[in-house]
């Protein structure tokens, strides 16, 4: 379910970028006065302003909804503690009490001194 919503989220994001890039800037109306007629537009005489605005608003609402849904999934996944292989404290104490040597016990019978280099008499 989470993967499907993530794929929809990415598709909506790409569609939003394309729709925003298709829209004309505020200065584009001045260029239309010098030869761009309303009859040449694809979306009718009113232009593409209302269609692109509504499509962008719809996709923005869908983007926020999928964002909130993905955030909810992430918060639910963070609450569940997965079993990552760390044993409980009781298990660790039992292993220590079974007679397994610790670092302190192993070092008593061994010589752990570092070797010293002999200095030459030059």
The string of pLDDT tens digits covering residues 24-56 is 776 666 555 565 555 455 555 555 568 888 999
For 1-5, 60-64, 103-107, which range has the lowest pLDDT when averaged over its residues? 103-107
Instruction: Work out the percent of the chain whose per-residue pLDDT is above 90.
Output: 32
Where b means 16+ CB within 10 Å and e means fewer, 65-101 reads ebeebeeeeeeeeeeeeeeeeeeeeeeeeeeeeeeee
pLDDT at 106: 52
pLDDT at 62: 97
Indicate the domain borders of the chain: 51-78
């Amino acid at each position: 379910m989470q993967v499907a919503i993530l794929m929809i989220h990415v598709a909506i994001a790409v569609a939003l970028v394309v729709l925003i890039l298709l829209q004309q800037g505020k200065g584009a109306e001045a260029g239309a006065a010098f030869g761009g007629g309303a009859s040449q537009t694809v979306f009718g005489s009113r232009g593409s302003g209302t269609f692109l605005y509504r499509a962008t608003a719809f996709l923005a609402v869908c983007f926020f909804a999928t964002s909130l849904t993905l955030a909810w999934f992430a918060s639910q996944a963070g609450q569940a503690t997965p079993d990552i292989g760390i044993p409980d404290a009781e298990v660790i104490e039992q292993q220590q009490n079974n007679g397994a040597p610790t670092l302190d016990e192993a070092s008593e019978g061994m010589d752990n001194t570092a070797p010293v280099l002999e200095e030459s008499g030059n």
